[in-house]
Structures are given as structure tokens and as C-alpha cells.
């Protein structure tokens, strides 16, 4: 593949993955507007986000595996078409039920993340793989936060439906270009989709994420929450048993047990808890009227602008990550990113009386996200066989989402557990919450320290690694330029 084709392929991958990431946060600030326009309750409108989360969690690893089996480009185009259909249905939705279904369809495109990483690994020159993955990670990270900045101006100037009309136009063009110009990856995994494992995986993810995301409303001690969490444990055990016995596992658990994979996934779980909770609660903090004893009374647009330092820092750190890989290895980047996240949350807990203090903390957190996001993706891609790239990176994205759900749920409990007479949270709720998130990010840094260093070129694999990776798909030694 020549350099011009590389750029076009990357542009398509970045656009598709960026739009999906954007849709994660674009609708959140507009939920009160949607609730009013569709004459529904607050409890019902939250399903606009919950349905998207659950759908993406299910389809990300499954379609990542399908891409490894039948072709990443073919699956990528299918995911883009699903995203297009979901956005079109959402833009035209006459009621909240149709909008929720549309969000489920959009969630199918969560597979764009692992598929894009896999295509970069398969198609780009080895020396450019870390930079390509870092740049794509930067786009995904920025897209995930950019929605909070764009939502206010779009809703104010046009209508909340334009939050979906704009993606319709962009995704339609992207899907056509992808079909015409993105090459089909030559890497394939032999076998077929393990549908029993797919159903069990879907079951335990829903049973886990649903009660976590709804615990603030249902109550942690409610029968629904406890029952679903118990069901999640049972279904997870059945899924693991089915995968261990399968000749064609959906997700090869031997790959998940590789030291570099499980340590990176642990760091992803803990860092995700801090990252998603900051995204979810920092705008709300800024919008709180100063009469509550804190906050700045910002508008939706103003709160979004306060997040700009985070977005700029995320992009810069993500882009530089791949270029510094030779001198600043992925493991060191992950540790540094998690530490910066912890420092940022500590700043938010201790100093949040002025907008500049919050903007400073947001910028520091953005540097941490940019480094951590890119390094996690690179560590996973470098550590698994090429034929397992989609499934492994899909699970890493899922684990980050699970961590985010846990962090957001715990933050919700701390912030809304004790309310003022006005119904607004006490400042101490945010202080305790940001302190907890600082602890999560610090724990992520400690987990990242356990990630094994990359072996020198030509080094023999350890006995554990040799047993963990099936011979048929054992990773081949990569050029030193690919290693961080």
C-alpha cells in the first residue's frame, strides 16, 4: 500500500471511529431538551444513553471477531451502514421508543474501533503502525469529548435532531469511500462464529452494565440490581466454560491471560472509571449555580467550552504518543497518563473555586487521556497475534466501558447521595467523588507498572507465553520500529 492510500485509509477509519465516539457524548447535554420535546420522563430519556452503551458493549467484541474471520473491510462497511441507519432513524424518530431503538442500531458501530486498529496493523508498514494507532486513538479520545462542546451550539442554533443529521451526511460519504478505496485485509482467522459464546457474552455484559448504570435510580440494595449482578456472574462463568471448550472461541481466553494483555486490561478498567466519570460530571459541576456554594452557573455551551483545554491536550498527547514510541515506550506512556489523570482529579478535589482551576485540571487530564488511550491500544496490538487483533482490542474497549460505568455509578452515588434543600448536590459530594476518581487513576498507574517490558528482537518467548498463544496463530517477531 503506498503512502497516499495509507492516508486515505486512515482518513476513512478516523472519520468513522471519530463520529461514533462523538455520538457517545453529543447527545448527553441535550437529554433535557429531548425529554421536553418528546414529552417523556427523565427515567425514560436516560435509556437514550443506556441503550447505546449496552448495544456497543455487545457488538464491539463480537463484530471485532467477525472481522477477524470474514474480513475487516467488509465488516467495517457493514458497521458504517448500521451507524448511518441508526443516525437516520434517530433524526426522524417520532417518539422516544423509536429514538431508543435507533440508539441500539448506532451501538452496532462500536466495532469500528477494533476493526480500525486491525486494518492499521494489517495494511500499514510496520514502522508506521504505532503512529497510526496513536493518531487514531487521539481522534477517538477527542471525539468522545468533543460532543460536550458541540452539543450546545448545535441545539441552540438548529435543533436536537441535527445532532444526528450531521453524522448522517458524514457517515454516508465515509461508507462510500470505505467501500471503494479501503483494501480488504489479508489476515484471516480460521473457524466460525461461536454463537453460543456470543449469546452468553451478550447476556453477562447486559446483566452487568444494566444494574451498574441504573443503580442510582433502582438502589444498590434493590432486588433488581442484586439479581442482575448475580446473573452476570453466572453467565460469565458459563461463557468462560463455553469458550474454554470451544474449538473456535469467540474470544480466546488464552490470549486474554497473556501478561501484557491482562495487565493492560486491568489498567483500562481502572482508568476508564476515572475518565468517563470526569466527562460525565465536570460539565454538571460547571453548570451548577454559584448560589449552591460552588459552580459557575455556566450554560451548556459555556460548560462545553470549559472542556476545550482537555480536548486540545488529548489530541496533542495522542498524536505525539506514536512519534515518541522509540524513546518513550507504551508502558511508560500508560503509567504517565494514569498518573496525570490522578493529579488532575486531585486538583479538581482540592481547587475548583475558579474556572481557570477547572480548565487547568481538564488540560492535565486531557494529557493523561491522550497518552493512556494510545498506549493501551498499542500494547494490546503489539501483544496479540494479528488474527486476534479485532477481538482483543474490542475487549479492551469493552473493559474500559465497564470501568466507566462503575466509576460513573459510584460518582453518582457520592454526588446525589445527600442533597441541599434546593435539590442540588453538596460541594462535598463532588470533592469526595473527584478524590475517589484520583484513587482509580492512581490504581491504574500501579496496574500499568505490572505490564511486562517488550522483549528484544529475536528473544525466545517465555514458556507461559508459548503455551498461551496457539501455534497456528502465534505472533511473529516484529521489527523494532513497531515496538514501544
- Which has the closest alpha carbon to 304: 144, 143, 147, 142? 147
> What pLDDT does 475 receive?
33
> What pLDDT does 358 receive?
95
- Residues belonging to the chain: 484
> What pLDDT does 80 receive?
95
> What pLDDT does 98 receive?
95
Alpha carbon dihedral 365, 371, 374, 375, in 10-degree steps, equals -130
> What pLDDT does 190 receive?
67
> What pLDDT does 215 receive?
79
CB-based contact 415:433 (threshold 8 Å): yes
* Per-10-residue mean pLDDT, the chain, length 484: 75 90 83 86 79 85 83 91 96 94 93 88 84 86 82 87 93 92 75 81 88 81 92 94 84 86 95 89 88 88 86 87 79 95 96 94 94 88 81 84 85 83 89 96 96 56 40 33 33
> What pLDDT does 454 receive?
65
> What pLDDT does 283 receive?
84
Separation of alpha carbons 386 and 66, rounded Å? 14
Burial grade of 453 (CB within 10 A; 0-12, 13-18, 19 or more): exposed
Instruction: Tell me which CATH code domain 3-193+248-482 carries.
Output: 1.20.1250.20
**Numbered ranges of CATH 1.20.1250.20 in the chain:** 3-193+248-482
> What pLDDT does 188 receive?
66
- What count of Cα atoms within 13 Å lies in the side-chain half-sphere of residue 226? 5
Cell of 237: 462463568
Measured at the alpha carbon of residue 428, what is the angle toward residues 422 and 432, in degrees to the nearest 5? 135
CB-based contact 420:286 (threshold 8 Å): no
Separation of alpha carbons 260 and 380, rounded Å? 7
Cell of 473: 496463530
DSSP 149-187: HHHHHHHHHS-TTHHHHHHHHHHHHHHHHHHHHSPPP--
> What pLDDT does 47 receive?
84
Please say whether the dihedral angle defined by the alpha carbons of residues 20, 68, 329 and 182, taken in this order, is positive or negative. negative
Separation of alpha carbons 20 and 43, rounded Å? 24
Amino acid at each position: 500500500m503506498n503512502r497516499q492510500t495509507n492516508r486515505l485509509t486512515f482518513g476513512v477509519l478516523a472519520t468513522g471511529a471519530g463520529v461514533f465516539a462523538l455520538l457517545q457524548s453529543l447527545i448527553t447535554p441535550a437529554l433535557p431538551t429531548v425529554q421536553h420535546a418528546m414529552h417523556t420522563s427523565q427515567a425514560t430519556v436516560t435509556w437514550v444513553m443506556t441503550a447505546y452503551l449496552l448495544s456497543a458493549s455487545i457488538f464491539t467484541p463480537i463484530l471485532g471477531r467477525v472481522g477477524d474471520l470474514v474480513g475487516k473491510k467488509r465488516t467495517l462497511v457493514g458497521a458504517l451502514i448500521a451507524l448511518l441507519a441508526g443516525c437516520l432513524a434517530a433524526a426522524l424518530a417520532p417518539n422516544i421508543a423509536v429514538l431508543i431503538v435507533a440508539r441500539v442500531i448506532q451501538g452496532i458501530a462500536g466495532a469500528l474501533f477494533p476493526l480500525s486498529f486491525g486494518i492499521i496493523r494489517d495494511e500499514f508498514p510496520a514502522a508506521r503502525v504505532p503512529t497510526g494507532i496513536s493518531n487514531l486513538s487521539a481522534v477517538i479520545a477527542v471525539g468522545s469529548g468533543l460532543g460536550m462542546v458541540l452539543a450546545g451550539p448545535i441545539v441552540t442554533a438548529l435543533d436536537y435532531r441535527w445532532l444526528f443529521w450531521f453524522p448522517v451526511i458524514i457517515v454516508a460519504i465515509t461508507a462510500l469511500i470505505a467501500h471503494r478505496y479501503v483494501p480488504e485485509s489479508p489476515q484471516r482467522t480460521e473457524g466460525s462464529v461461536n454463537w453460543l459464546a456470543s449469546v452468553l457474552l451478550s447476556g453477562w455484559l447486559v446483566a452487568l452494565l444494566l444494574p451498574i448504570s441504573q443503580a442510582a435510580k433502582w438502589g444498590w440494595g434493590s432486588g433488581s440490581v442484586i439479581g442482575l449482578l448475580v446473573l452476570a456472574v453466572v453467565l460469565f462463568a458459563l461463557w468462560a466454560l463455553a469458550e474454554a471448550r470451544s474449538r473456535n472461541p469467540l474470544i480466546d481466553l488464552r490470549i486474554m491471560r497473556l501478561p501484557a494483555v491482562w495487565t493492560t486490561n486491568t489498567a483500562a478498567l481502572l482508568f476508564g472509571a476515572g475518565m468517563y466519570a470526569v466527562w460525565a460530571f465536570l460539565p454538571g459541576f460547571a453548570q451548577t449555580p454559584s448560589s449552591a456554594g460552588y459552580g459557575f452557573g455556566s450554560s451548556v455551551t459555556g460548560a462545553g467550552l470549559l472542556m476545550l483545554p482537555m480536548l486540545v491536550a488529548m489530541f496533542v498527547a495522542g498524536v505525539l504518543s506514536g512519534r515518541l514510541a522509540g524513546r518513550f515506550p507504551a508502558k511508560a506512556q500508560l503509567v504517565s497518563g494514569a498518573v496525570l489523570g490522578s493529579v488532575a482529579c486531585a486538583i479538581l478535589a482540592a481547587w475548583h473555586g475558579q474556572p481557570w482551576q477547572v480548565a487547568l485540571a481538564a488540560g492535565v487530564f486531557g494529557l493523561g487521556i491522550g497518552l493512556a488511550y494510545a498506549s493501551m491500544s498499542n500494547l494490546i496490538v503489539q501483544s496479540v497475534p494479528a488474527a486476534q487483533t479485532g477481538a482483543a482490542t474490542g475487549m479492551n474497549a469493552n473493559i474500559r466501558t465497564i470501568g466507566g460505568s462503575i466509576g460513573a455509578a459510584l460518582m453518582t452515588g457520592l454526588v446525589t447521595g445527600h442533597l441541599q434543600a434546593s435539590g442540588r448536590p453538596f460541594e462535598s459530594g463532588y470533592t469526595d467523588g473527584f478524590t475517589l476518581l484520583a484513587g482509580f487513576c492512581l490504581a491504574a498507574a500501579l496496574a500499568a507498572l505490572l505490564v511486562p517490558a517488550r522483549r528484544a528482537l529475536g528473544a525466545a518467548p517465555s514458556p507461559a507465553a508459548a503455551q498461551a498463544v496457539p501455534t497456528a496463530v502465534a505472533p511473529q517477531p516484529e521489527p523494532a520500529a513497531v515496538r514501544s
